[in-house]
Amino acid sequence: MHASLTADGALGLDGVFRRPDSRAALSATTASDQHEADRRRAAWMAAAQAGDRRAYERVLADSLPLIRAAARRQGVPIDNIDDVVQETLLTVHRVRHTYDPSRSYDAWITAIASRRAIDALRSHGRRDRRELHDEQVLDMQTDHADATLDTEREQAARRLHAAIATLPPGQREAVEQLALRERSLAEAAQHTGRNAGALKVNLHRALKALRNRIHGDS
User: Which residues bind to other proteins, rule: CB under 8 A?
Assistant: 48-51, 53, 56-57, 60-61, 64, 79-80, 82-83, 85-86, 89-91, 93-100, 103-104, 107-112, 115, 195-198, 200-201, 204, 207
Report in angstroms how near the CB of residue 46 gets to other proteins at its nearest.
9
Report in angstroms how near the CB of residue 80 gets to other proteins at its nearest.
8
- For other proteins, which is the closer residue by CB, 125 or 168? 168
- For other proteins, which is the closer residue by CB, 160 or 198? 198
Query: Whole-angstrom Cα distance, residue 77 to residue 80?
Result: 6
Those residues whose C-beta lies under 8 Å from the C-beta of residue 173, and which sit 6 or more positions away, are 192, 194, 202
Cα 191 to Cα 80, 170, 178, 198, 204: the distances in Å are 34, 13, 11, 13, 19
Report in angstroms how near the CB of residue 94 gets to other proteins at its nearest.
8
- For other proteins, which is the closer residue by CB, 164 or 210? 210
Do 183 and 177 form a contact (C-beta atoms < 8 A)? yes
Report in angstroms how near the CB of residue 148 gets to other proteins at its nearest.
30
- For other proteins, which is the closer residue by CB, 34 or 195? 195
CA atoms within 13 A on the CB side of 182: 0
Report in angstroms how near the CB of residue 131 gets to other proteins at its nearest.
19
